[in-house]
Structure 1
């Protein structure tokens, strides 16, 4: 019983980390979109980077909402499903962040 209780506590801890990191990454994406808009306005040319960052922010927001829902639910089975989904979505968004960084870098280099 103690081991099972410890696993539930550990899962809740992971969910808290996903929640805080995803929420922070939404802010980072929005900040970079703003900076990117200034740069593209000054250069008088647009790129796909700000659109990709907006999609990235939505992925992080979905991860944040799922992890918050997992923290608030009382149903253990639902909690584990939400945590797993939030975890996978967070990793997808994190990978997408790296891809977007590469796209922005190459777009700025070749123009």
Structure 2
């Protein structure tokens, strides 16, 4: 196995920082949209699957955020890379589910 240069390690730390900040922001976005959906559904009446999906998204983004934080705190480069890949996969999964939730919102409310 080849040794990683300082530049490659810094790049991996940079990716973890981006996952950490973006996933933390996405937790807030999910919670905001859930709140707005609840207000709209209370006024109009009805039930939607989108808020359940957004709650799952918020959880995925939270786990992604925590894993990326752990990757930043760990001293082992190999472990950092492994944890970072899991965080990245959860983040992408959360984004895909968020797009599905957007589809549910558009077609169930309007």
1:28 equivalenced with 2:29 (yes/no): yes
Q: CA RMSD in A?
A: 1.6
Tell me how far apart the structure 1 counterparts of residues 72 and 41 of structure 2 sit (CA, whole Å). 40
The 5 Å alignment of 1:9-20 reads: 9-20=10-21
What TM-score, normalized to structure 2?
A: 0.93
Tell me how far apart the structure 2 counterparts of residues 58 and 28 of structure 1 sit (CA, whole Å). 12
- Shifted more, 99-108 versus 21-30: the winner is 99-108
Aligned to 2:73: 72
Structure 2, unmatched stretches of 5+, are: none
C-alpha displacement of 1:58: 0.5
Aligned to 2:84: 83
2:5 counterpart SS class: helix
1:29 counterpart SS class: helix
Aligned length: 109
What TM-score, normalized to structure 1?
A: 0.93
Aligned to 2:43: 42
- Provide runs of 4+ in structure 1 moved above 2 Å: none
